[in-house]
Amino acid sequence: MAKHKTNLYSLFLALLSGALLPLSLAPFSWWPVAIFSTSTLCFLCRGQTIRRAFTTSLVFGFGMYGVGTSWIYVSITDYGHAPAELAIPLTALFTLGMAIIFALPLSFYGLFRKSSAIASLLAFPALWVLGEWSRNWFLTGFPWLNIGYGFIDTWLAGWAPVTGVMGLSGFIVFCGAIIALLTEYTENRRIIWGGLIVVLMVCAGGTGLNTLNWSRPSGEALKVALVQPDQPLLEKWEDDELKRILIAFKETNETLINQDLIIWPESALPTLQNNIAGFLDEIDATLKRERVGVITGIPSSRGSQQYFNSVIGLGRASGNYQKRRLVPFGEYVPMEQWLRGTIEFFDLPMSAFSAGTEQQAPIVIGEVQIAPAICYEIAYADQLANDARDANILLTVSNDTWFGNSIGPHQHFQMARMRALENAKPLLRVTNDGITAIINQRGKVHEQLPRFKPGLLKTEITPFTGSTPFNRFGSLPLVALCFATLFLLRTARRVRE
């Protein structure tokens, strides 16, 4: 078995391959890079101890998050008004933290350093998938940069309704592990060829699954209008801006009374719901008379201590939804007693929210049920799958202005496309400054608005009913399979010893 010392050369190669991996995701979508990057990491970690596998994976993760979440620097400098000499170490600290979380599961690859080639081939993708899964919930979760997203426009996309995005990730890492074994082709050629046959079968299966209809149209199409107001992020929270925003909200809705449903983005009304109760009651009464529904983002409160990032229905639309997965520093401040007030970034508007309850009813218009997700909640595949089972349409509202002109909004948009594909339901995405779009039940973009300019997107959307395997069972079968694989591989090794 080839052994690799954790020297400067291998660490540089790990850093480089990690930094290249985000190129496989939007907006670049150079998906072969993901196979190259993961094969490099597998090669560098193969035969290493737990400690050295952790170090190598840590450096890889630092490169991956350093490039893939570089938009955090934009948020800190452009909207937190922090100087570069402070923003750089803050961004580096976040990147290091994510790299540690990324490296911890992969460090257990060291347990298989003396195992057979087939154990090495199966253990690495299993650990990778468990790593992506753990980043859904560890420390409230940050499920960003799952490599399966980069394959939404390939023949593998057909597997997404069955396994979810993490199933695609696991398969890609399996391909990378096969390439890593090529350095030992002579002694492992049967395993390598067997793995290649599996790859061909999976690719063929994805092509076949792409032709299946997991859901079907249900009911008449709704005429919808998606509003992209392009409001300045920080200025809109100033008191003198509120009156202008409320007038624009009312007048825009009045021009769209021929629509069935009008949707505004996250926090389109930048004040507490209770503060403008009279204004909303007037809007609600007018919309009911016209038989029009409006869904809009607006902060809400419960008493004087709890505030929520919410979406409410007005007129023909009814219901409200409170965001459950909050963005650290953007919507709540960890270690608030120490960080609040130190720099402007830790005092951003909307940074004192509470999380909504786990079980919430959908928003309803007529007989159509709409499953909402606010901002980066769309990255939580299992949460939306649970909500989408009985829903006819998926909805995500966001304010991607925080990302600036970076790769962040494109990554975010790609995640929304994957949620539509996983659940086989059409998805409406409404944002403050883009990317506002309509996505069909196969994850394909039907229509979208350009970024950084106000606009209206009018179309018709047909409700769908039905479910997919992922919609019903979520990630649990895949996670259980990965745990079972690792357990069996370790047990088999103990039996041989």
How far apart, in whole angstroms, are the C-alpha atoms of residue 153 and residue 217? 23
Distances (CA, A) of 281 to 122, 256, 277, 308: 59, 18, 6, 20
The reply to whether 266 belongs to the active site is: yes
Residue 151 has phi, psi (to 5 degrees) of -110, 20
The reply to whether 3 belongs to the active site is: no
Residue 159, SS3?
A: helix
Residue 210 has phi, psi (to 5 degrees) of -60, -20
Mean pLDDT of the chain: 92
Closest by CA position to 286, among listed 319, 332, 244, 255: 255
Q: Write the DSSP assignment of 218-257 as a string of letters.
A: -SPPEEEEEEE----TTGGGSHHHHHHHHHHHHHHHHTTT
Closest by CA position to 325, among listed 378, 267, 393: 378
Structure tokens at 297: 């983002």
Q: Which helix (H) or strand (E) covers residue 424, if one does?
A: none
179 Cβ contact partners less than 8 Å away, ≥ 6 residues apart: 35, 36, 39, 42, 43
CATH architecture, domain 217-467: 4-Layer Sandwich (3.60)
Structure tokens at 266: 């996250």
pLDDT given at position 237: 79
Closest by CA position to 204, among listed 194, 196, 193, 216: 196
Domain ranges of the chain: 8-212+475-496, 217-467
What's the sign of the alpha-carbon dihedral 362, 168, 413, 301? Answer: positive
Q: What is the pLDDT of residues 38-97, one digit of tens each?
A: 999 999 999 999 999 999 999 999 999 999 999 999 888 887 778 888 889 999 999 999
Average pLDDT on 18-35 reads 98
For the cut 50, the answer to whether the pLDDT of residue 4 exceeds it is no
Query: Which one is catalytic: 45, 132, 266, 377?
Result: 266
Angle subtended at Cα 413 by Cα 412 and Cα 414, rounded to the nearest 5 degrees: 90
For the cut 60, the answer to whether the pLDDT of residue 340 exceeds it is no
pLDDT given at position 3: 47
pLDDT given at position 246: 96
Residue 480: pLDDT band by 50, 70, 90 thresholds? very high
Residue 459: Cβ within 10 Å count: 15
Query: Which one is catalytic: 323, 377, 422, 425?
Result: 323
Residues 72 and 23 sit within 8 Å (Cβ to Cβ)? no
Residue 497: pLDDT band by 50, 70, 90 thresholds? low
Structure tokens at 222: 């709704």
307 Cβ contact partners less than 8 Å away, ≥ 6 residues apart: 272, 299, 300, 301, 352, 353, 354
185 Cβ contact partners less than 8 Å away, ≥ 6 residues apart: 192
The reply to whether 323 belongs to the active site is: yes
Closest by CA position to 129, among listed 477, 492, 469: 477
pLDDT given at position 2: 44
Residue 95 has phi, psi (to 5 degrees) of -60, -40
Single-letter amino acid code for the residue at 457:
L
461: β partners: 222
pLDDT given at position 334: 54
Q: What is the pLDDT of residues 180-201, one digit of tens each?
A: 999 888 788 999 999 999 999 9
Report pTM. 0.94
Residues 474 and 386 sit within 8 Å (Cβ to Cβ)? yes
Query: Which one is catalytic: 42, 45, 375, 482?
Result: 375
Closest by CA position to 210, among listed 152, 146, 169: 152
Q: Write the DSSP assignment of 60-83 as a string of letters.
A: HHHHHHHHHTTHHHHIIIIIS---
Residue 284: Cβ within 10 Å count: 18
Single-letter amino acid code for the residue at 474:
G
Q: Environment class of residue 473 by beta-carbon count within 10 Å: exposed (0-12), middle (13-18) or buried (19+)? A: middle
Average pLDDT on 214-236 reads 92
Distances (CA, A) of 358 to 4, 79, 297, 302, 354: 46, 30, 19, 16, 12
Single-letter amino acid code for the residue at 368:
V
How far apart, in whole angstroms, are the C-alpha atoms of residue 250 and residue 247? 5
